[in-house]
Chain A
Amino acid sequence: MSKAKDKKGRRRFLKVSGVGAGVLVGGLIVGCNPIRRTIFTRAEKTIPPYIGKTEPMLWFQITPDNKYILHSSKVEMGQGTFTGLAQIAAEELGVNVEDVEVVHAQTDTGNIDAFATGGSLSIAGLYNPLREMGAAMREMLQAKAAEKLGVPVGDVKMENGNAIGPNKSLTYGEVVIDVNDWKVPKRPSIKERKDFKYIGKDIPRVDLVEKVNGAPIFGIDAEMEGMVYASLLKPAAIDASIKNIDLNGADTMAGVEQVIIRDEYIAVVASSYIEATQARRMIRYEVEINKAWDTKTLEEHIKVGKGTKQVVQKEGKRIEDISESGKVVEIEFHSPIGAHAQMEPNGAVASVKDGKATVILSTQVVSITRDEVAKALGFSKKDVNIIPTFLGGGFGRRLHTPLAVHAALLSQEIGKPVKCFMDRKQEFQNDTFRPPTHHVMKAKVSQEGKILGLEHIFASGNVMFESALIPPFAHGFMEGFLRADIGSIRGGSIMYQKLANYHTAYYHNKLPFATSFWRSLGLLANTFAIESFIDELALSVNGDPVTMRLEMLDSSDSHQKRIMEVIKTVAQKAGYTNEVVNGRAMGLAASIDAGSPCAQVAEVSIENNQIMVHKVTCAFDCGFAINPDQVKAQVEGCINMGISAAMFEKMDIVNNELQPINYGAYRMAMMKHSPKEIDTILIEGMAEPGPVGEPPLGPIGAAIANAVRRITGQRITRMPLEIS
């Protein structure tokens, strides 16, 4: 069967059921705060359904030589999605998991994800649709096998890629030969969990061998016949324009074919990457700064009280209105601008020829990139094919990949395929950064040590607003309607809902440089502020941070009960104590993100004024784990990325330039900073798989700071964490 050519099979029959509405659905009654708050709550708790094609003919390709190829509309950026999809597909199709090959679906196959790969939603969203598609495919093969064998369908067993009849068997490959009239069943029967052979098991990653051997699987490895290299010059300064450009001999350097000057950039086209890059670096220009920015002016800009205010949560009274007597505690927290610093730089290889465009690149937004390229070229979408590759890291950095457009336009102009990649300085200065944050945490505590009220008032910049995920024409509407950026407020709500009084409000301001999605969005900074503060409250009443948290959670609520479970489990498994033993202390923190609660205990010491994280115990409830080993890999990765962001990373603005401009100066966690022990306990608090790739990033910053507090007596209120 040739996938995508068989148009007869193309109809949308498999409806996703049993999951709640997406974030953007419903609530179009503008201007009413409770409705906004309902949307914010939903955005925190609900797993949005998969938005994309769910026809088996678009996903499955079975070849006469018995290859089972799964064309995935979700991309593989390290999160292990391809392995999970192979497990689910093999399970329902009735083939060996190691025989399934997962590839990125090119857009011209028609298998298009209408959204993006992100939000930790790939497996959570595709679990049921892909099971149904796999089962449908198996039943279609079974029906055809029965026809070919001349026996009733019920007499054909489907096992390990074979259709086994009473007297004779056919391989799946033999079944598909010369079949053009596939009938897609309406209600395919999916397996029960007790019969699972692959789902829920520790299957090795399907991309393991390629990655260990350095196979050319990334966007930067792609080549096209006769291609040239382009290097783009853009002003490094923010809120500035360039003038008096002096090519300074760049256009006559060895290997340089031409220099193209456009409003947005100057492109140097050459016969190799190094020649294009070196020539581009020769170009001189003057910068005209519109408004002066530095780290300090930025901190005055992203500040509670500045920008648009929106209430996110409101229960009971504000602290000043609580009549019971008690002490008011207030602490402010800050987090810096964060860079993605993914290892593979952004870029694309594009060929525009004879009215058709082909672009090869690593991107998290395959269909959006196709639409952008089509629009820029003035082509119809069907004349643009995006070929997605493996991503050398995503983390939200590739939720907008405009170099596809630049490479395509240059190819159209030059008449040759063009490969266009950023160098590392450009990558650091043109990132779509994690916006900085400012938090005011406030509580009222009674004489007996009871929390009477808790408030989180915070400020940040764009994450979702103005992102490529929202069509440009809707930017203003989204912002005007929601007021609080759903990405920035991620993890910002107070989860301790047994409290009588709690309140969360958000101040939004725009920044003079691009900010957007960074793995877990606002979760890391918001949890740092909230969970550091809760810890301080526990210490101030001489209490136990475990019991204090449990007392503020409501076990009659299924959502909160799952949070209680991870906290209890992590405390017990880590042997949590408030005591400092041999210079080592423990710190505990918890969070819930997209319905997946996580609690961590960090075991920390201070050596030569440097914080050392020796061990992290993590209890994580992502529901049903499709591949427990790979869920643990994500937990370990989140812990190390969180250690990196919480302890080292910080972008500054110096004379309107984002700095630093390379690894090393942009400090990041290395081997020596990784905990030597990571103990992950998976809890299955729901029967369906939930988000995995981001929620474990929540607690780590606060867990480390809380441990340091026990050693030094000092409360660290800023990331990156430093001992003063």
Chain B
Amino acid sequence: MKITFSINGKQVSVDTNGEAPLLWVIRDTLNLKGTKFGCGKAACGACTIHVDGKAVRSCSFATKYAEGTEITTIEGLSSGGQKHPVKQAWEDEIVPQCGYCQPGFIMATAAMLTEIPNPTDQEIDDNIINICRCGTYYRMRKAIHRAADLKNQNS
């Protein structure tokens, strides 16, 4: 079936099996490789994207539900032409190690900060539930607080 949506500000139409996970349409049809495959069961968060501003695990999101939505992936995460505060904070704190899970965490964090502009440690624990095997959580927590500060300064 033909499914039409906007991705990173660009309108696209894909002809695909509507039940197929959106992750593979993003990665292999639209060739945006920043969204990662980790588990296929919405258990790790490596494939986190924004659908209409909300964090969604795209490995378990049927493409048909993308119809008419606005989708943002790590490649399109920006802040009015400026570097997004979450990306900036991630660079400032030198968070990534292997880097594979990081886009998912960055997308999850960016979505959280729109709902909770100043998250407490407890709120971070409750909302950021992706998996990082390198164990970069300690720096991530610092980066999340820093991103909140940067975002609040800018606004």
User: Could you say which of B28, B38, B121 has the most chain A C-beta atoms within 10 Å of its C-beta?
Assistant: B38
Contacts known (A78-B97, A78-B98, A341-B133); A676 close to B121, Cβ less than 8 A: yes
Q: Are B97 and A633 in contact (CB under 8 A)?
A: yes
Give residues of chain B (55-109) contacting chain A, Cβ–Cβ below 8 Å. 73-75, 87, 90-91, 94-103, 106
Q: Establish whether residues A214 and B44, one from each chain, have CB atoms under 8 Å apart when the complex forms.
A: no
Q: Which of A80, A220, A670 has the most CB of B within 10 A?
A: A670
Given A210-B99, A342-B133, A395-B133, 18 additional A-B pairs, CB 8 A: A207-B99, A211-B99, A220-B37, A274-B21, A341-B133, A343-B38, A344-B36, A344-B38, A344-B100, A392-B36, A393-B98, A423-B40, A636-B136, A640-B135, A668-B131, A671-B125, A671-B137, A675-B138
Which of B34, B39, B40, B140 is the one whose CB lies under 8 Å from A216?
B34
A345 to B36: give the CA distance in the assembly, Å: 10
Q: Considering the complex of A and B, which 3 residue pairs feature the smallest CB-CB distances, nearest first?
A: A214-B34, A640-B135, A78-B98
Q: Is the CB of A392 within 8 A of B98?
A: yes
The answer, yes or no, to whether B46 is at the interface (CB within 8 Å) is yes
B67 to chain A, nearest CB (A): 18
Provide the bound-state CA to CA distance between A643 and B130, in Å.
Answer: 16
**Alpha-carbon separation in the docked complex, A639 to B138 (Å):** 10
* B24 lies within 8 A of A272 (CB): yes
Q: Does B3 contact A (CB under 8 A)?
A: no
Is A218 a contact partner of B39 (Cβ separation < 8 A)? no
B134–A78 touching, CB < 8 Å: yes
Q: Does A577 contact B (CB under 8 A)?
A: no
Q: List the A side residues contacting B100 at CB < 8 Å.
A: 218, 342-344, 392-393
CB nearest to B99 among chain A residues:
A211
Known: A213-B74, A216-B34. A663 touches B135 (CB 8 A): no
Residues of chain B within 8 A of A583, CB atoms compared: none
Assess the A641–B134 pair: CB atoms within 8 A: yes
Q: Which of B1-58 contact A (CB under 8 A)?
A: 17, 20-21, 24, 28, 31, 33-41, 43-44, 46
**Nearest A residue to B98 by beta-carbon distance?**
A78
Chain A residues with CB under 8 A of B140: 671
Residues B87 and A205 in contact, CB atoms below 8 Å apart: no
Q: Are B139 and A633 in contact (CB under 8 A)?
A: yes
A212 and B102: CB pair below 8 A?
yes
Task: Say yes or no: is B129 at the interface (Cβ < 8 Å to chain A).
Answer: yes
Q: DSSP majority for the A interface? A: loop
In the complex, A638 has a CB within 8 A of chain B: yes
Contacting pair B24 A214 (CB below 8 A): no
Query: Hey, which chain B residues are within 8 Å of A345, CB to CB?
Result: 37
Q: How far is the CB of A4 from chain B (nearest CB, A)?
A: 28
B145 to chain A, nearest CB (A): 11
Q: Does A273 contact B87, Cβ atoms closer than 8 Å?
A: no
Residues of B within 8 Å of A395, CB to CB, are 133
B98 lies within 8 A of A77 (CB): yes
Please tell me the number of chain A residues within 8 Å of chain B, measured between CB atoms: 63
Residues of B near A581 (CB, < 8 A) are none
Docked complex Cα distance between A678 and B135 (Å): 12
Q: Please, which residues of chain B bring their CB within 8 A of the CB of A536?
A: none
Q: How far is the CA of A207 from the CA of B102 in the complex (A)?
A: 12
Instruction: Encode A220-239 as 1/0 by CB contact (under 8 A) with B.
Output: 11010000000000000000
Contacting B at CB under 8 A, from A37-95, are 77-80
* A671 touches which of B21, B28, B128 (Cβ 8 Å): B128
Q: Are A394 and B98 closer than 8 Å at their CB atoms?
A: yes
Cα distance A674–B131 in the bound complex, in angstroms: 12
A-B contact pairs, 5 of them (CB 8 A): A211-B96, A214-B75, A273-B28, A391-B98, A664-B41
**Most-contacted residue by chain B among A78, A217, A272 (CB, 10 A):** A78
CA distance in complex: A291, B137 (Å) = 42
Q: Name the residue on A nearest B143 (C-beta).
A: A212
Scan residues 660-699 of chain A and give those whose CB is less than 8 A from a CB of chain B. 662-664, 668-676, 678
- Contact present for B21 and A670 (CB under 8 Å): no
Q: How far is the CA of A232 from the CA of B133 in the complex (A)?
A: 25
With an 8 A cutoff between CB atoms, is B150 at the interface? no
Q: How far is A367 from B107 in the complex, measured between Cα atoms in Å? A: 36
B39:A662 contact, CB within 8 angstroms: yes
Chain A residues with CB below 8 A from B113, complex form = none
- The chain B residue with its CB closest to the CB of A214 is B34
- Given contacts A221-B33, A664-B41, whether A640 and B138 have CB atoms under 8 Å apart is yes
**How does the 8 Å CB contact mask read for A329-363 relative to B, with 1 for contact and 0 for none?**
00000000000111111000000000000000000
A208 in the interface, Cβ–Cβ < 8 Å? yes
Q: Which residue of A lies closest to B129 (CB)?
A: A670
Q: How far is the CA of A21 from the CA of B134 in the complex (A)?
A: 31
Asked if residues B103 and A214 are in contact (CB atoms below 8 Å), the reply is: yes
B41, B87, B97: the one within 8 Å of A662 (CB): B41
Q: Which residue of A lies closest to B142 (CB)?
A: A676
When the two chains form the complex, which single residue of A272, A340, A424 contacts B28, counting CB atoms closer than 8 Å?
Answer: A272
Contact yes or no, A343 B139, CB < 8 A: no
- Residues of chain B within 8 A (CB-CB) of A340 are 133
Chain B residues in 8 Å Cβ range of A662: 39-41, 43
Contact present for B91 and A212 (CB under 8 Å): yes
Q: Please measure, in the bound complex, the distance between the C-alpha atom of A215 and the C-alpha atom of B35, giving whole angstroms.
A: 10
A214 adjacent to B33 (CB under 8 Å):
yes
Q: Does A307 contact B (CB under 8 A)?
A: no
- B-side contacts of A392, CB under 8 Å: 36, 98-101
**In the complex, are the beta carbons of B43 and A663 less than 8 A apart?**
yes
Q: Are A663 and B96 in contact (CB under 8 A)?
A: no
Chain B residue numbers with a CB within 8 Å of A211 are 96, 99, 102
Asked whether A415 is an interface residue with its Cβ less than 8 Å from the other chain, the reply is no
Given contacts A216-B34, A662-B39, contact A80 B121 (CB under 8 A): no
Once bound together, how far apart are the Cα atoms of A675 and B95, in whole Å?
Answer: 16
Whole-angstrom distance between the alpha carbons of A345 and B100 in the complex? Answer: 11
Q: Is the CB of A217 within 8 A of B131?
A: no
Chain A residues with CB under 8 A of B125 = 671-672
Separation of A643 and B91 alpha carbons in the complex (Å): 25
